[in-house]
Chains A and B, each alone.
Chain A
């Protein structure tokens, strides 16, 4: 849970208040000055009506240089950030030719497969020469290659389910699968902090959607009991089916989901479960098999497991793993399988090679070393940050750690100052997080060495002091006791 000091809440609200007032004042003057200019819309309605883009124009554009920074190398542990300049106060940004080498704390590169890898890249280039860039066809027409069938079997084996199906993009996987599984007359209960793709898929399916409090299994039980007892709204007919959708690691909080409790509740009430392991597959667990392995849940208890290849495997695409019947049903009805271009063969090969490395089937123990490295790195980094007095969210073993900033002015200050010192940090604000809870999000990778992490800690500590975000300073250990013990020895 986020601890928000009272004074900080007040100052944050005050800052946003000032920003809104200034924004409205500027809008007011803009309206007066533009009165004389002819309206060149000529009867069309404008693209943005009213205050839809107020936040964008008056708040986001001021700090636009903190987002969308282009890079010109692979997103490895160190990368080259392209410098940009602006002539009109951040409204438009222009690239330059200069780059700065920075430490990468923002990319989803959990196991270090982002850059060219000694095992994966030669095989990827070979598959590129054999199968070319794209098949230009859907999976059901002429877009299934031997690589696709091989990867589906490998994914099913890796995740621990009988069968799997691939899709070219993780976002599309959620948006197109959920409508194929449930429709009108069904109920979807999703965690309040679920990702946008799940929300879109749930909306597009036509089923009724209800939300339960984040990671709160007793509240889920309460919602389930109420919904099953009352049935569909207005007609009170019983629900056709109920699906509960949760994520493995929530990317804005860094928290693991309370999987055993939630699965117990779902089994008791005979509802189906859908687990989105976009961030956790390959990154957590003893052998990288995700939250199920980490929290000791049998994969047979979860009906549908979804994941993406973008984060831990350094490729693109998504998969669904479930029982054979469900996968066959999806292959017949899911629009993303029937209408969308199949995954690019080199990307498929990258996932196959990365999985083989993780499983140790490439003949080395690099996979096990990477997994141990990321666990060690995450735990070390998190404990050090907490010792320094930052408000860090997330559970142990999770490679994502958000540092709370709260104040809107601290977002650009933290981001720009860190970039000055050659550390690239990602800052997140509204609308991806609640208005008062802006944060800087750090993603640790197995490619970071201990020296990289220590440098990052130094820089973050210095900038944290400058910006003033060490909200919960820890009492320093008194040195006298230690001297006393040494004397006795």
Chain B
């Protein structure tokens, strides 16, 4: 048996070796093809087959209905809002009379430094009379957007008046000051455009920058060198400057710090690098300049050099609403592309008449501006030696900003300290001043502090009282 098996195996081996060694008889290109070449060709074919075969992937299985049900049952959402304790609640004072230089809070007469009533127009008799006439004629609301019978002759008159006052060809009127800037920026700047903005701009501007989807660069607060560096960097990298719109967005008087933007330097930079300026003049319209026309008049810059000016009318003009002026092309573009102009009801007519009344008052009494400047200078002098607090901000800014000389380390404890100071000043001395409030959505990196809004209708005794009470309370708080 064993020998028979051995014979079979020996025969098989002989056969295989002879097959390998036997010449096939084929001669291709002068090379005799042998059996082992066949084996090598077979091996090469196996290698090629393995390389071309796809790697094994597990098949994709979509979720079954039952699995989706389980996932939906398991999912637990976060609560809609985080818990708030009683301490974190802001309890503002409730006013019981008009927000003029003196106001009644809790039955007591209080000196009011919380209203941006720069020209003292709150309570002005002529403005109130024109509003009464407007209310009787038009009612309160306008009941429609500008395109659908919400345009009243008062609106058109107001626009013409403002345009004439500033010295621009035309003006668009918005129904709320807050939404003006965050509707204007996306109307002019879209995805792919470039915006360079100051890092201290307020939330409405930040929201406008987000909504526009453009590329945004921030420069250091009011630092022209930082701005120049960024502009140089951008200009050197743009490939097709004729197709990319570029804007610089700044505020005239920053409400987060009281600084004033250096417009002359900015105009020089803008003309060099071919950028357009969007200027938010909410706190400088009716305040800066010899006749109150704003930052351009104060700096001596002709109006044509500033492309777009927006302003909220809730400050110096003591009414509500917003405006946006520029060249004819700029204003016409907004009337069709700006969402807060098209998709919302127009400004109530009595507020438009109040705006016209305010402008007439300002044109007839330019001395109110000198009074405002004198008040600001006086108060700044009085507040120069408050313990623990330092005045920052431009000497001409009607928002007097006091920041902590030494921060306690965290925003929360800073706020506590400042709140306690303002509460004491109100309770013990009957002066209303306010702290800066920051929303959790706000990205502004500037420090918190106290704010006083100076009005032309504050008397000297008001200013003295405010400074004295703040000094007393601060001395106790920082001792």
Contact = CB atoms under 8 A, between A and B. Distances in A.
Interface string A287-318: 00000000000000001100001110111100
Contact of B99 (A124, A132, A333): A132
A315 B42 CA distance: 90
A229 B68 CA distance: 6
A43 B439 contact: no
Contacts of A115: 138-139
Given A175-B179, A316-B141, A136 B81 contact: no
A272 B319 contact: no
A259 to B, nearest CB: 19
A80 B10 CA distance: 119
Contact of A335 (B112, B114, B153, B442): B442
A233 B199 CA distance: 31
B41 interface: no
A138 to B, nearest CB: 8
A22 to B, nearest CB: 20
A108 B351 CA distance: 19
A135 B100 CA distance: 8
Nearest to B243: A45
Contact of A329 (B81, B150, B434): B81
B131 interface: yes
A331 interface: yes
B460 to A, nearest CB: 21
A377 interface: no
B210 A168 contact: no
Interface stretch (A12-20, A69-77, A406-414): A69-77
Contact of A146 (B95, B115, B202): B95
A181 B77 CA distance: 13
A334 B439 contact: yes
A464 interface: no
Contacts of A71: 149, 151-153
A130 interface: yes
A132 B122 contact: yes
B112 A142 contact: yes
Closest 3 CB pairs of A and B: A142-B114, A341-B314, A329-B81
A371 B302 CA distance: 56
Interface stretch (B13-21, B27-35, B338-346): B338-346
B78 interface: yes
Given A135-B99, A172-B176, A242 B77 contact: yes
Given A143-B99, A333-B440, A53 B76 contact: no
B245 interface: yes
A42 B273 CA distance: 11
Most buried by A among B103, B149, B432, B438: B149
Contact of A43 (B177, B241, B350): B241
A229 B72 CA distance: 6
A195 B343 contact: yes
B93 interface: yes
B330 interface: yes
Most buried by A among B82, B142, B339: B142
Interface in B91-125: 92-100, 103, 112, 114-117, 122-123
Contact of A314 (B139, B207, B343): B139
Contacts of A53: 333, 336-337
B478 interface: no
A140 interface: yes
B344 A228 contact: no
B1 interface: no
A338 B436 CA distance: 9
Contact of B131 (A47, A70, A133, A171): A133
A134 B140 contact: no
Contacts of B371: none
A128 B82 CA distance: 38
Interface string B234-254: 000000011111100000000
30 contacts: A41-B242, A44-B274, A49-B245, A67-B147, A68-B147, A75-B138, A106-B148, A106-B149, A107-B144, A114-B143, A116-B135, A116-B136, A132-B98, A132-B99, A133-B128, A133-B320, A134-B122, A139-B92, A141-B115, A142-B92, A143-B95, A143-B115, A144-B94, A145-B95, A195-B343, A204-B211, A229-B63, A338-B438, A340-B177, A350-B140
A181 B149 contact: no
Given A141-B92, A310-B345, A314-B140, A325 B97 contact: no
A114 B141 contact: yes
Most buried by B among A68, A175, A316, A333: A316
Contacts of B441: 179-180, 333, 335
Q: Determine chain B's interface SS by DSSP, over half rule.
A: loop
B279 interface: no
Contacts of A229: 63, 67-68, 71-72
Contacts of B312: 341
Interface string A27-51: 0000000000000011111011100
Interface in B322-358: 329-330, 333, 335-337, 339-340, 342-345, 347-348, 350-351, 354
Nearest to B240: A45
Contacts of B246: 45
A225 interface: yes
B88 interface: yes
Contacts of A197: 339, 343-344
B176 A169 contact: yes
Given A133-B128, A137-B114, A335 B177 contact: no
B345 A181 contact: no
A347 interface: yes
B207 A204 contact: yes
B276 interface: yes
A213 B387 CA distance: 62
B175 A196 contact: no
B149 to A, nearest CB: 5
Given A108-B144, A135-B115, A141-B92, 20 more contacts: A68-B147, A68-B151, A71-B149, A74-B137, A75-B138, A115-B138, A136-B318, A137-B453, A142-B92, A144-B94, A145-B95, A168-B178, A169-B344, A172-B179, A180-B439, A314-B143, A328-B89, A336-B178, A338-B437, A347-B348
Contacts of B318: 132-134, 136
A170 interface: yes
A354 B320 CA distance: 21
A116 B255 CA distance: 38
A70 B122 contact: no
B146 interface: yes
B341 to A, nearest CB: 10
B240 to A, nearest CB: 9
A55 to B, nearest CB: 9
A71 B82 CA distance: 48
